[in-house]
C-alpha cells in the first residue's frame, strides 16, 4: 500500500544499513524536510510484513494461541499470526500460519485491514484477516524456536479477555476490532 505524495514528505538523501539480519534491518537515513532542514540521522526499523488473524471455528469459538514472547519476557495469549514469506501473498501467509500454528483450515478468510505498526520508524505493514468456519485437520507444526498452545474461547470469553487487557499485542487488538466489526457491523455504527 503506497500512499500518494504529500507536500510534507521528506526527501531521502542517503541510507546506510547498521544491522541486516533475517528478522530485522536497522537503517540510518539522511533526509531533507520540505523547508530545507536536514534530519540526520533518522533510524528506521525494517521488519517483514506480517499477518494477524481473528479465527473462528465452525462452532463460533475464537481460536487463540498461547506462547512465550521474549521481548516482553512473558507467556501471552495472541491471535494466530506470522511473517509474510517473500514468495507468498498475505492471504497465503494467513492460510499457512493458521494451519501451522493451530492445525485448522477455514471455509473463508477475508482481509479486514492493512495497518502500520508504527509509521514513525517501522517500514512494514500488518495485514489483518477474519477466518471463519475453521475445522481441525492436522496437528500444529512449529518452528525450532516456537512452543505454542491452541486455546479455544467463546465469543463472550474473548470479549472479556479484550476488556480485561489480556491480549497485549496492540496489532492483534486492532485485528480483533476489525474482525469483530466485520462479524457484527451494526454494533459499531454508533461509535
Residue pLDDT, tens place only, 136-152: 999 888 777 778 899 99
Report the residue count for the chain. Answer: 191
Average pLDDT, the chain: 92
Q: Which pLDDT score, from 0 to 100, does residue 22 have?
A: 86
pLDDT tens, residue by residue, 152-167: 999 999 999 999 999 9
Res 3 pLDDT > 80: no
Q: Which pLDDT score, from 0 to 100, does residue 89 have?
A: 97
Q: Where are the domains of the chain?
A: 11-46, 50-188
The Cα 90–Cα 45 span in angstroms is: 20
Q: Which pLDDT score, from 0 to 100, does residue 142 have?
A: 79
50 vs 5 pLDDT, higher one:
50
DSSP per-residue codes, 31-100: EE-TTS-EEEEEEEEE---EEEEEEEETTS-EEEEEEEETTTTEEEEE-SEEEPPTTS-HHHHHHHHHHH
* Over residues 164-186, mean pLDDT: 91
pLDDT tens, residue by residue, 126-135: 999 999 999 9
Percentage of residues in the chain with pLDDT exceeding 90?
85
Q: Which of 182, 109, 101 is nearest to 141 (CA)?
A: 101
pLDDT grade for 118, boundaries at 50, 70 and 90: very high
Res 190 pLDDT > 60: no
Query: Which numeric CATH code is attached to 50-188?
Result: 3.90.79.10
- Please state the pTM of the whole predicted model: 0.89
Res 82 pLDDT > 80: yes
The C-alpha cell of 164 is what? 480485561
pLDDT grade for 185, boundaries at 50, 70 and 90: low
Answer positive or negative: Cα dihedral of 76, 177, 153, 102: negative
Amino acid at each position: 500500500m503506497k500512499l500518494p505524495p504529500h507536500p510534507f514528505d521528506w526527501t531521502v538523501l542517503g541510507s546506510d544499513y547498521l544491522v541486516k539480519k533475517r528478522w530485522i534491518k536497522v537503517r540510518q537515513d539522511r533526509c531533507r524536510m520540505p523547508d530545507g532542514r536536514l534530519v540526520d540521522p533518522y533510524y528506521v526499523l525494517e521488519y517483514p510484513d506480517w499477518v494477524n488473524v481473528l479465527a473462528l471455528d465452525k462452532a463460533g469459538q475464537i481460536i487463540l494461541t498461547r506462547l512465550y514472547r521474549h521481548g516482553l519476557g512473558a507467556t501471552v495469549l495472541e491471535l494466530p499470526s506470522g511473517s509474510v514469506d517473500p514468495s507468498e501473498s498475505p492471504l497465503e501467509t494467513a492460510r499457512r500460519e493458521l494451519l501451522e500454528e493451530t492445525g485448522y483450515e477455514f471455509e473463508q478468510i477475508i482481509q479486514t485491514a492493512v495497518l502500520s505498526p508504527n509509521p514513525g520508524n517501522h517500514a512494514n505493514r500488518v495485514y489483518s484477516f477474519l477466518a471463519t468456519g475453521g475445522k481441525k485437520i492436522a496437528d500444529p507444526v512449529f518452528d525450532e524456536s516456537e512452543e505454542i498452545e491452541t486455546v479455544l474461547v467463546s465469543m463472550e470469553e474473548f470479549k472479556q479477555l479484550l476488556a480485561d487487557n489480556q491480549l497485549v499485542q496492540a496489532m492483534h487488538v486492532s485485528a480483533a476490532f476489525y474482525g469483530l466489526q466485520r462479524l457484527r457491523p451494526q454494533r459499531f455504527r454508533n461509535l
